[in-house]
Amino acid sequence: MKLSVIGCGYLGAVHAAAMASIGHEVVGIDVDERKIAALSVGEAPFFEPGLPEILQQGIASGNLRFTTDMSEARGAKVHFVGVGTPQQKDGYAADLTYVNGAFEALAPYLSPGDVVAGKSTVPVGTAADLAPLVERTGATLVWNPEFLREGFAVKDTIDPDRLVVGVPQDESGEIAADVLREVYHPAVAKGTPFLVTDLATAELVKVAANAFLATKISFINAMAEIAEATGADVTQLADAIGHDVRIGRRFLGAGIGFGGGCLPKDIRAFAARAEELGRGESVGFLREVDAINLRRRERAVTLVLDALDHDIVGKRVTVLGAAFKPHSDDIRDSPALDVAVRLRGLGAEVTVTDPQAIENARRQHPQLTYVADRDEALRNADAVILVTEWDEYRRNLSPEHAATLTTGRIMIDGRNGLDAAAWRAAGWTYVGMGRP
């Protein structure tokens, strides 16, 4: 099928390449000329495992191309829109400028029978607002929220754990749902749940999922705060409650909390939208979820301060990680960088290392010192803090080896990812989060 994908960022570039890899003829469209230039020659403009391979295959096969020219969307049967929906600069609500801009730019090239599938995460009600613009052209608007995880985006796009499509409640909606079934044929054929809903439900599914995940993380971080006041160990607590299948162990890792381009802004936008709907109190707890999350960053900084006996000015602190999570170079609202910037603000000489995210981090925080090589970054450190649980730091760094590089023997484990006993046995002062 001929498809267009509008917006070629973390979501759209992967979507375009993944759809080409399952046999569709895809044009990816973005306003960012640098991104399109890179994508056109098969280069991923960001780090995503497996993306370069499917990009290059798609381009070589002639199934995949990229352009800045919106008119090339003409002729596609389905148009996916995955442009950004960041937090507004002066508030918590989502900024819909890019979504509105993309729909207005696309509308002149739509034909009767086309399907426009919104993929951006939007406040509930957005699709209903956009529908008249699309319907005037004879096309149908559906909402097809995306659940991919950065770092696993290729697999998640080709083989998702479920597909959700919100459609208008008439015959055009039924036809459009069938078109999307055809688009996602390999996943549908293997029995992946394909849920057809109304537009509002589909929009809500996405923010509800992210609200739940954020709540789960903040729940365990709230338990970490209580553990800290009582001498209990939150990791043992998480193991113990996680054995209950109703609870589950995943997303119960206490530490410096969540960040990235989705969870923080999505829970804020959800709370803001609920207030507009007169239902602010229904998700009022999301403000608390956000507050707990941000407190953990502060707590990590306090742990470094305490470990250095509050003598931090001029002390060399190595920060292991810059990306908001491993397997990604995404630094949007990264807790790791937030901690690094705060430590520097207190007078520490901060060195940041990361396997993938240094370039992005340097652009946003040029005041920090970056060293790509992990061991070089550790050299002469007075204290070390692990903030992004890359295997390079969590699994493949032995305390004995680290001790040959650093001056001090202080390890603050902001992700509770290290073997505390091993680090202590090697002579380190090991400090976890929510652990005695």
Of the pair 96, 341, the CB lying nearest ligand NAD is at 96
Question: Is position 127 an interface residue for ligand NAD (rule: CB under 6 A)?
Answer: no
**Is 8 among the residues known to form the active site?**
no
Alpha-carbon span 251 to 234, nearest angstrom: 13
Alpha-carbon span 427 to 423, nearest angstrom: 7
Alpha-carbon span 24 to 34, nearest angstrom: 25
Closest contact distance (angstroms) between CB of 51 and ligand NAD is 12
Residue 369 CB neighbours (<10 A):
16
Of the pair 51, 410, the CB lying nearest ligand NAD is at 51
Residues comprising the chain, all counted: 436
63-102: contacts with ligand NAD (CB under 6 A): 82-85, 98, 101-102
CA distances from 34 to 41, 49, 68 (A): 11, 20, 10
Closest contact distance (angstroms) between CB of 177 and ligand NAD is 20
Question: Is position 408 an interface residue for ligand NAD (rule: CB under 6 A)?
Answer: no
CA distances from 228 to 231, 312, 404, 432 (A): 6, 23, 31, 10
Question: Is position 133 an interface residue for ligand NAD (rule: CB under 6 A)?
Answer: no
Stretch that binds ligand NAD, among 59-67, 146-154, 336-344, 399-407 (CB under 6 A): 146-154
Report which of 324, 126, 141 is spatially closest to residue 217, judged by C-alpha positions.
Answer: 324
Residue in 12, 253, 321, 434 binding ligand NAD, rule: CB under 6 A: 12
242-271: contacts with ligand NAD (CB under 6 A): 261-262
Question: Is position 118 an interface residue for ligand NAD (rule: CB under 6 A)?
Answer: no
DSSP code of 346?
Answer: T
Of the pair 9, 408, the CB lying nearest ligand NAD is at 9
Of the pair 95, 225, the CB lying nearest ligand NAD is at 95
Report which of 216, 294, 199 is spatially closest to residue 251, judged by C-alpha positions.
Answer: 216
Torsion angle in degrees (nearest 10) through CA of 404, 410, 413, 417: 30
Question: Is position 50 an interface residue for ligand NAD (rule: CB under 6 A)?
Answer: no
Alpha-carbon span 213 to 345, nearest angstrom: 31
Closest contact distance (angstroms) between CB of 96 and ligand NAD is 10
Closest contact distance (angstroms) between CB of 189 and ligand NAD is 24
Question: Is position 143 an interface residue for ligand NAD (rule: CB under 6 A)?
Answer: no
Q: Which residue is nearest to ligand NAD (CB)?
A: 9
The catalytic position among 29, 262, 292, 383 is 262
Question: Is position 203 an interface residue for ligand NAD (rule: CB under 6 A)?
Answer: no
Residue in 24, 35, 325, 344 binding ligand NAD, rule: CB under 6 A: 35
Letter string b/e over residues 151-181, b meaning 16 or more CB atoms within 10 A of that residue's CB: bebbebbbebeebbbbbbeeebbeebbebbb
Q: What is the DSSP string of 2-30?
A: EEEEE--STTHHHHHHHHHHTT-EEEEE-
Of the pair 217, 402, the CB lying nearest ligand NAD is at 217
Question: Is position 385 an interface residue for ligand NAD (rule: CB under 6 A)?
Answer: no
Residue in 1, 2, 22, 31 binding ligand NAD, rule: CB under 6 A: 31
Of the pair 12, 58, the CB lying nearest ligand NAD is at 12
Alpha-carbon span 253 to 234, nearest angstrom: 9
Of the pair 25, 203, the CB lying nearest ligand NAD is at 203
Closest contact distance (angstroms) between CB of 140 and ligand NAD is 20
Closest contact distance (angstroms) between CB of 149 and ligand NAD is 7
Of the pair 104, 276, the CB lying nearest ligand NAD is at 104
Contact 12, 82 (CB under 8 A): yes
Alpha-carbon span 28 to 16, nearest angstrom: 6
Is 215 strand, coil or helix? helix
Question: Is position 8 an interface residue for ligand NAD (rule: CB under 6 A)?
Answer: yes
Residue in 49, 52, 53, 105 binding ligand NAD, rule: CB under 6 A: 105
How many residues in the shown chain lie near ligand NAD by CB under 6 A? 27
Letter string b/e over residues 40-62, b meaning 16 or more CB atoms within 10 A of that residue's CB: bebebbbbbbbbeebbbebbeee
Closest contact distance (angstroms) between CB of 371 and ligand NAD is 26
Tokens of 198: 């109304």
Of the pair 150, 290, the CB lying nearest ligand NAD is at 150
Contact 162, 195 (CB under 8 A): yes
Question: Is position 180 an interface residue for ligand NAD (rule: CB under 6 A)?
Answer: no
Show which residues are catalytic. 262
- Which residues here bind ligand NAD, judged by CB under 6 A? 6-12, 29-32, 35, 82-85, 98, 101-102, 105, 120-121, 146, 148, 150, 261-262
